[in-house]
Amino acid sequence: MSEQITTLPDYPSLDTTEFSELLQKLTADPAVAGQASEDLCQLDPRDGTMIIYAEHRARRPNEHEQKPASTSGVKPCPICTEDLTAIVDYAPLSEGFTFISQNMYPVLYPTVHTEDLHLKAPLYDDPDHLGRAAFGLHLLQWTSSVHSNDWHNMPTEDLFITLSRLAALENKLLFTCEDYMPISCETDGARGYLSIIKNYGPDAGASLSHGHQQIAYSNIMPQRTFNNARFFDRHNRTFCSYMHEHNPENLTVAEEGSAKVIIPYYMRRPYNLMILLDTQSNHLSKQTSGQLWDLTRAIQKVIKSLHLLLPSMGKSVSFNMAIHTGPRCELYVEFFPIVQALGGYERIGLWISQLTPRSAASRFKAMYESLA
């Protein structure tokens, strides 16, 4: 397997690309032809959970599947063999580069023509349950062109560039799309909803081992974004500020400047963690360079700690990360290490954790502080 991508067809930058150009490029991407989603979703009437139907994603190549080895003995990485979709952003690193491309099996497709009804509101009546229009973009940010490089082993300076390019993408989508998306935040004029996640390891749903972050840009509000906004409406304060005040100090793992790493007092699963940023802004692109640096450092050290902790428990390194943004929300990050399987009780909302928050904070803090 090639260790890294050696060439790119061009060197685009979001800084010099208009949103209309970005949309046109992604819509015309030949690598995604025939892989579009159904452009509709359903909402669970009990809690508003959004379900997008995307049968084409069952055809995704999976490096982690238990299949006979290839003739070379190693299953090739499709990214390193340059089986790429449309590239929309590129930035050099100290070794290789980071870049953003379209997901080859997108959950959300960049529909160009939509009815005015769908543009005016993120949610509209669907009395016959035919499904609501779900459109937008599904992008991937490749942390590094070097296959073995990711958040646990790259220089902090390179990861700061990576996170800064995510911030640039967020700004391009939320604040320059004009009327492509419905208004999501009246106070700052943001349009549409951005979901940023990282899946690492097969147990966490990562089909490819080449390090990446996923970005979903949608017209419909995800459930956790709705919960954050509803929390503000109920308490007249953000969830982040509430946790700053109410989470016990003995559950604080570390502080990296304006970023605070904690185990939440209501930890659902062992070593679920959060990074709370000392900010009043709800977007990556609205943070200062100092705040982005502190956030980069905290994310890096949490992921490094997971690479130490999970193998010491006899577990593979598998985790999910989510960066929470959106209306009436101050930016924060959540980590979900795959330590304890979900059971039937968890499916009905009764969570059972095999570790207490206090024990988790103590053990994780020891791993965190062992890092240089």
> What residue ranges do the domains of the chain occupy?
1-221, 234-372
pLDDT, position 115: 66
pLDDT tens digits, one per residue of 330-372: 999 999 999 999 899 888 889 999 999 999 999 999 999 999 6
pLDDT, position 133: 79
- Identify the residue with better confidence: 38 or 301: 301
What is the amino acid identity at position 127? P
Average pLDDT taken over every residue of the chain: 88
pLDDT range class, residue 71, cuts 50, 70, 90: very low
pLDDT, position 79: 86
The architecture (CATH level 2) of 234-372 comes to 2-Layer Sandwich (3.30)
pLDDT, position 359: 96
pLDDT tens digits, one per residue of 273-291: 999 999 988 999 999 999 9
pLDDT range class, residue 78, cuts 50, 70, 90: confident
The CA distance from 353 to 320, in Å, is 17
With tokens 């906004």, the residue in question is 229
pLDDT tens digits, one per residue of 216-256: 999 888 888 999 999 999 999 999 999 999 999 999 999 99
pLDDT range class, residue 81, cuts 50, 70, 90: confident
pLDDT range class, residue 134, cuts 50, 70, 90: confident
pLDDT, position 70: 42
- Identify the residue with better confidence: 86 or 11: 86
pLDDT range class, residue 67, cuts 50, 70, 90: very low
Q: Is the pLDDT of residue 37 over 70?
A: no
pLDDT, position 122: 67
pLDDT range class, residue 72, cuts 50, 70, 90: very low
pLDDT range class, residue 38, cuts 50, 70, 90: low
With tokens 């009804």, the residue in question is 117
Same fold yes or no, 1-221 and 234-372: yes
CA neighbours within 13 Å on the CB side: how many for 180?
26
How wide is the angle at C-alpha 263 spanned by C-alphas 262 and 269, nearest 5°?
A: 150
pLDDT range class, residue 126, cuts 50, 70, 90: confident
pLDDT range class, residue 64, cuts 50, 70, 90: low
Cβ pair 63, 209 in contact under 8 A = yes
Stated pTM of the model: 0.90
What is the amino acid identity at position 177? C
The architecture (CATH level 2) of 1-221 comes to 2-Layer Sandwich (3.30)
pLDDT range class, residue 40, cuts 50, 70, 90: confident
- Identify the residue with better confidence: 200 or 27: 200
Residues contacting 367, CB < 8 A, separation 6+: 305, 308, 309
pLDDT tens digits, one per residue of 104-117: 888 888 876 566 76
DSSP string, 185-229: ETTTTEESEEEEEEEESGGGT-S--S-EEEEEEESS--HHHHHHH
pLDDT, position 132: 81
Residues contacting 288, CB < 8 A, separation 6+: none
- Identify the residue with better confidence: 168 or 188: 168
SS (H, E, C) 26-48: HHCCHHHCCCCCCCEEEECCCCC
* 283 burial via Cβ count (<10 Å: 0-12, 13-18, 19+): buried
